[in-house]
Amino acid sequence: MQIGVASDDAVACYCVFVISGCEVNRAALQFMLQDEYETHEWRGLQQALGRIRERRPDVVIVEGAELGDAEARTLDRIRAASATTRIVVLVGQANEPAGARWLAAGAHGLLPQPLTVEVVRRKVRLALGLRAPLRIGVEAG
């Protein structure tokens, strides 16, 4: 049983791949997500593509720097490896100038830094199309 996970979500075992050249970002995202999702980390896109084809993760979080100048082609490569995988781009800040290009190229969301557990988990849930969990002590409105 997964601790702190709603029973409806515990039945579905979602898989998240984290692709980043930064070891700190990979470790932080792995730590923030591992309680709720099967999480794997990869140092680079080339390293991850074969595993994406095999495992078909539900969400890929990819660092913007990994997309390079040909972001549309890079996102297409991820989609070609797994058409149902949702792609979230890890950015330096919410108003990243390249963010609009990544979204136009087919990314499903942007994940700004600094990383917080609440924001990371919310962005993954949104990418999966899941409703956000209610906070304890907050009434539904």
**Taking Cα atoms as reference points, which of 81, 80, 79 lies closest to residue 54?**
81
**Taking Cα atoms as reference points, which of 59, 54, 62, 63 lies closest to residue 16?**
59
Q: Which of 8-12, 20-24, 50-54, 71-75 has the lowest mean pLDDT?
A: 8-12
Task: Please write the tens of the pLDDT for every residue from 53-63.
Answer: 999 999 999 99
pLDDT reported for residue 94: 73
**Taking Cα atoms as reference points, which of 39, 38, 41, 40 lies closest to residue 13?**
38
Q: Is the pLDDT of residue 139 over 90?
A: no
What CATH number should be reported for the domain whose range is 11-128? 3.40.50.2300
CA atoms within a 13 Å half-sphere pointing along the CA-CB vector of 111: 30
